[in-house]
Structure 1
Amino acid sequence: MQIDPRTNLSNQLADALNNRTIEPDTKREITITFRVSTAEKSRLEQRCNGVVQSDYIRARLFDYPLPQPKLTIPEVNRQTIYELKKIGNNLNQQTRAINEAVKIGSQPLTNNVKEYLQTIKELAALLEQTHASLSQPIAEED
Structure 2
Amino acid sequence: MQPDPRTNLSNQLADTLKNRTVEPDDKREITITFRVSYAEKARLEQRCNGVVKSDYIRARLFDYPLPHPKLTIPEANRQAVYELKKIGNNLNQQTKAINEAVKIGSQPLTSNVKEYLQTIKELTALLEQTHASLSQPISDED
The question of 1:29 aligning with 2:26 is answered: yes
Aligned length: 118
Counterparts in 2 of 1:42-121, with a 5 A limit? 43=41, 46=45, 47-121=47-121
Cα RMSD between the aligned structures? 2.5
SS of residue paired to 2:126: helix
SS of residue paired to 1:114: helix
| Greater than 4 Å deviation, 4+ residue runs | none
1 CA distance for matches of 2:97 and 2:30?
A: 50
TM-score by length of 1: 0.70
1 CA distance for matches of 2:63 and 2:141?
A: 28
Stretch of structure 1 that moved more, 88-97 or 50-59: 50-59
TM-score by length of 2: 0.70
2 CA distance for matches of 1:63 and 1:76?
A: 37
2 CA distance for matches of 1:29 and 1:70?
A: 21
Shift of 1:35: 4.7
Shift of 1:27: 6.9
Structure with higher Rg: it is 1
Alignment deviations for residues 4-60 of structure 1 (CA, whole Å, 9 cap, x no partner): xxxxxxxxxxxxxxxxxx732x375212331536x55x8396253310233212212
- Structure 2: which 5+ residue stretches go unaligned? 1-19
